[in-house]
Every structure is written in structure tokens, then in C-alpha cells.
Amino acid sequence: MKKLLLLIPLVVGVASSAWAGTCTSEALSIYEGSGFSCNIGDLVFSSFTSSGVDTSTNVSEVTGPESGLDFGVDLSAVGPGDQGASIGYVVTCDTCTMNDWALATGGAGSAGEGAVSVVEFSTPGVLSQFTQGPANLTTGTGSATFAPETALSVGTSIALGGGVSGTVTTLGSVTNLFSITSTVPEPSSLALCAGLLCLLPFARRRFVR
């Protein structure tokens, strides 16, 4: 009986070991590695791509009521020139659904009339953040709710620049957050637990004897 009870958490632990490793602060180049994936709670992030972004910049996990990733893009442009970049990835949750996403920018602004535009595309629609100097006020749609989804393909398009000659326009980071609306136990874990629980009466009968 004791052996069987000790076996239950062991088997369940093995069943959950197939999950990706936890997302940590790493260079974008690590995230873009072949076959790389990582998780924040029940959310799994994978298939990272980028263009126009220094891949030595960091990607960091964000945890809390909403979870996601912060991309430290550290982009700049000198007017009247401009700079473009893009980031893409997939976020999935086999044991839950997502119903909310958010986009935020950090360090976006211009000393003159330059501007920063960040537009994000996914199944639910489009999010955008637009910052115009010199007041550097940010406008746009930073979050939205949608019908529950188990997987999202996210594409981010970044553009910055403009203004008179010598105007410096910058963008420090792009952050994505997602909300989980429901969590469902993993089928394999349920099956294992059910099978082990079915054996408990037999183990108890043997123990009583």
C-alpha cells in the first residue's frame, strides 16, 4: 500500500516532464535556436524569428496575473532615416485557453518629430502602439479580448525614425502579455491518476490481509 502511494506522485511527475523548460532571461539568439521552446506556467512559447533586431539583446519572462515575454530590442534611428524590424513566435496552451492579449512598449520616444510604430498581428486581430515626439505620447490599442484560443501565432512589425536631420528616435522594448481563461488537467496525467486510483482498493485489500 505504501509503495503504491509513493508511486503516484512519481508517475505523475514523469508524465509532466515532457513540458518545455521554464522561460528565463536569455539572448534572442538562444530563443531562435532550432527546436527551442520554453514555458511560463501553462503557456508554451516556440518558433521564434526576427529581422532587424540584434540577436544579442535579451528576452525576459514576465509573470503574474498575465504572463508573457519582454523583448529588449534596443532600436534607434537618426532622422531623416528610419529603422524597421520584426519579431514572430507561437504561443500555445494544450491544457488551457487564452482570451486576452496585451502589447506595451518601453523607452519609445524622440527628441524631435520622430515617431515609433509597433503593430502586432495575430488570430484575434491587431494591436498597435504609436509614439510621436517631442511630447512622446503613446496612442493605439494596447490590449484586447477574444474568443478562447489554445494557440496564437504572433507577428510584430516595428518602424521608427523620421524628423529633421539628426533627430534620434528610440525603442527600448516590446512586451506581450496573455491571460488564461481556463485550465484543463493534462489527459495523460488524468489517465495515469485514474489507473492508479483504480488499483488502490486492491492494494488496501492486500494490506488488510
Tell me, yes or no, whether 204 lies in a domain. Answer: no
Could you give the CA distance from residue 176 to residue 154 in angstroms, rounded to a whole number? 10
Using one digit for the tens of pLDDT, what is the confidence trace for 90-99?
A: 999 989 999 9
Tell me, yes or no, whether 10 lies in a domain. Answer: no
Task: State the virtual CA torsion across 129, 134, 135, 141 in degrees, nearest 10.
Answer: -10
Q: Which residue has the cell 504572463?
A: 67
How many domains are contained in the chain? 1
At residue 2 the predicted structure's pLDDT band, cuts being 50, 70 and 90, is very low
What are φ and ψ of residue 113, in 5° steps? -95, 20
Tell me, yes or no, whether 35 lies in a domain. Answer: yes
Which whole number is the average pLDDT over 105-129? Answer: 96
Strand partners, 21: 38
Please state, rounded to an integer, the average pLDDT across all residues of the chain.
85
Confidence at residue 67, expressed as pLDDT on a 0 to 100 scale: 97
Tell me, yes or no, whether 155 lies in a domain. Answer: yes
Tell me, yes or no, whether 198 lies in a domain. Answer: no
Tell me, yes or no, whether 11 lies in a domain. Answer: no
Tell me, yes or no, whether 15 lies in a domain. Answer: no
Tell me, yes or no, whether 178 lies in a domain. Answer: yes
Q: What is the pTM for the complete model shown?
A: 0.81
Confidence at residue 165, expressed as pLDDT on a 0 to 100 scale: 94
Contact 74, 147 (CB under 8 A): no
Range of the structural domain that residue 173 is part of: 28-185
Which whole number is the average pLDDT over 54-68? Answer: 97
Instruction: Enter the C-alpha cell of residue 70.
Output: 519582454
Could you give the CA distance from residue 24 to residue 26 in angstroms, rounded to a whole number? 6
Task: Give the N- to C-terminal CA distance of the chain in Å, as an integer.
Answer: 12
Confidence at residue 192, expressed as pLDDT on a 0 to 100 scale: 46
H helices present in the chain, as ranges? 2-16, 28-31, 187-208
Which whole number is the average pLDDT over 153-169? Answer: 96
